[in-house]
Amino acid sequence: EPEVTQTPSHQVTQMGQEVILRCVPISNHLYFYWYRQILGQKVEFLVSFYNNEISEKSEIFDDQFSVERPDGSNFTLKIRSTKLEDSAMYFCASRLPGQGHEQFFGPGTRLTVL
């Protein structure tokens, strides 16, 4: 069964450093998302991506964040200058086009900012 994959599973970084979180969505999916979950809190939407551009972003997704689909398979989230409060689990998700299709989530990357 196809699945969304994410690397790395855990990333530790120093405050102010740049990090890139990588995702490989399911191959025939066209809509891509990033969510985050701060420890003990609910899952929050960050950004959606379709047709090689951001389609929607939350207020969390400020200028420090960017997303890219550099080739036909990878989907990346970059944080330019990490802050302590960026420490969270980051989930990538993808879905088929059309109404009502569920999103499939990757296993997540745990980001720890020291």
- Binding residues vs other proteins (CB under 8 A): 4, 6, 31, 33, 35, 41-45, 48, 50, 55-56, 91, 93, 95, 99-100, 102-108
Side chain identity at residue 12, one-letter code: V
Q: Which is nearer to other proteins, 66 or 89 (CB)?
A: 89
Burial class (CB in 10 A: 0-12, 13-18, 19+), 21: buried
Q: Which is nearer to other proteins, 45 or 78 (CB)?
A: 45
Strands (E), 8-113: 10-13, 19-24, 31-37, 44-50, 53-57, 65-68, 75-79, 88-95, 104-105, 109-113
What is the nearest approach in angstroms of other proteins to the Cβ of residue 80?
23
What is the nearest approach in angstroms of other proteins to the Cβ of residue 101?
8
What is the nearest approach in angstroms of other proteins to the Cβ of residue 113?
19
Q: Which is nearer to other proteins, 17 or 107 (CB)?
A: 107
Q: How far apart are CA 11 and CA 7, in angstroms?
A: 9
Q: Which is nearer to other proteins, 56 or 85 (CB)?
A: 56
What is the nearest approach in angstroms of other proteins to the Cβ of residue 18?
24
